[in-house]
A = this chain, B = another copy of it.
Amino acid sequence: MKPSIPKGTRDFNSVEMARRNYIFDTIKKYFRLYGFEQIETPAMENLSTLTGKYGDEGDQLLYKILNSRIHESKDKEKLLEEFRLSLEKSKNTELLTERALRYDLTVPFARYVVMHQHEITFPFRRFQMQPVWRADKPQKGRYREFYQCDADIIGSNSLVNEVELIQLMDDVYSELKIPVTIKINNRKILAGIAEVIGAPERMIEIITIIDKLDKVGYEAVDEELRSKGFDEKQRDIILFQKGLMRWMPTNSFVSQLQALKDQNYQSDILNKGIEELDFILSRVKKNVQLDFSLARGLNYYTGAIIEVKANAGTFTPSITGGGRYDDLTGIFGLPNMSGVGISFGIDRIYDVMEELNLFNADKLNKEHTQVLVMHMGKEEQQHGLQLLFKLRRMGIRSEIYPEDDKKINKQFDYATKKNIPYSIVIGSNEMKTEKYTLKTKDDRYPDLAFEQIVTKIINNK
């Protein structure tokens, strides 16, 4: 039998792990610098916590856990009977299974806030880095198991939070050296537009359509709006004079907002949106692009929406996204908790960094073995063991070749394949004199300070 793993899932080897850890550690460092506290929630949630939160499509992508009382029977007839009884008892098909794997970190976070509301200090700044699972069709950049790295501030209406989150994204991507475009819009503008064209109840529908702008272009969006019954005047307003405003220079949010104001639309919510964007953008000018066509798919956003894309390489999906929601915890019984959050997609960031060759060996090699103790046989290995323990006591990451019947070439081969830069060979001479030499195969990058320290450790008794 040839073993395999489920489609859409991955193993990570140590090189991939070092790179992933570098991304995780960088994001984590900034989360902490910005005062976010880490929490974790279980991989499994009750099905009732998750269903209905991601739309019909999302519900279908949940990985559901078979109830254990069902999979206990090994007899087919009995099993079928158990299913039948379970179905009879249940109001819907869901009682066959009572748990599912989490689909994102946002809904578990909302559940967490409601469950622990009396222990939490609000405004609550939490971060969370855990895998999520979706029974989606796997394709490039889309996996069935992937990590999300979320930071949210809940229990505060202040737009200072938006400012901080944008600053945080900018800091993270500066350190990772990924050139990015941060785009911002406000759902209140979209709600205002829906109001202005006399179809406030169709806002989500409009968002869903214009969300495709990047992929399908203006003509197609215009055509879809037409086919859904929006007349030319409505379409003109939705698309802001056929997208003219979208192509305004990046750093002129003042004139972009002014142009919208000049339309003189009579909508309180639209004006509130303009005011909020003005507040945020005047404080984070750098690198942020106002884009009135940015919609983002998720229903729960009510204020600022933010999206980050790499602007080098071929990877087009967004690598970070977020926004403000006014009522995420209401579904669990705690209304009026405004919050704002962002989510880094580390699997996508990884793909971008790999393509752009941004994994810098210097930053990654802190995880790997530095010294290999080699030996000519049994006695030399025993002798080397003491040296090994000494190195480790001093914090030098080191190994000894464990077999004692292998030629020295085999051991050098091991060091080469594992990229271990330094070695110490124990022969009869070293055993007698107790003098040891640190050798390196790679003279191109000498680390003299390290060599000095190690030489001292191994030769000082």
Contact = CB atoms under 8 A, between A and B. Distances in A.
Interface string A22-37: 0000000000111101
Given A66-B97, A367-B32, A6 B45 contact: yes
A263 interface: no
A43 interface: yes
A265 interface: no
B93 A33 contact: no
A116 B34 CA distance: 40
Interface stretch (A154-162, A250-258, A343-351, A426-434): A154-162
A55 interface: no
B66 A39 contact: no
Interface stretch (A9-17, A270-278, A315-323): A9-17
Contacts of A10: 42
Interface residues of A, number: 102
A332 interface: yes
- For the complex, would chain A's binding face be called helix, strand, loop or mixed by DSSP majority? mixed
A356 to B, nearest CB: 23
Contacts of A93: 71, 73-76, 79
A421 to B, nearest CB: 13
A326 B156 CA distance: 59
A459 interface: no
Given A4-B46, A5-B45, A115-B4, A38 B398 contact: no
A402 B156 contact: yes
A101 to B, nearest CB: 8
Interface in A78-107: 79-80, 83-84, 87, 92-93, 96-99, 101
A333 B1 CA distance: 6
A63 B60 contact: no
A305 interface: no
A2 interface: yes
Contacts of A112: 11
A9 B399 contact: no
Contacts of A125: 399
A395 interface: yes
Given A11-B40, A63-B66, A158-B404, 19 more contacts: A3-B332, A5-B41, A5-B42, A5-B46, A12-B41, A13-B116, A14-B126, A35-B369, A43-B43, A43-B145, A64-B65, A79-B87, A79-B96, A80-B87, A83-B83, A121-B417, A123-B402, A164-B400, A164-B402
Interface of A: 1-6, 9-14, 17-18, 21, 32-35, 37-46, 48-49, 60, 63-66, 68, 71-76, 79-80, 83-84, 87, 92-93, 96-99, 101, 111-112, 114-116, 119, 121, 123, 125-126, 131, 133, 135, 144-145, 153, 156-158, 160-161, 163-164, 167, 171, 283, 332-333, 367-369, 381, 385, 389, 392, 395-400, 402-404, 414, 417-418
6 contacts: A3-B46, A9-B43, A35-B369, A38-B367, A75-B93, A158-B402
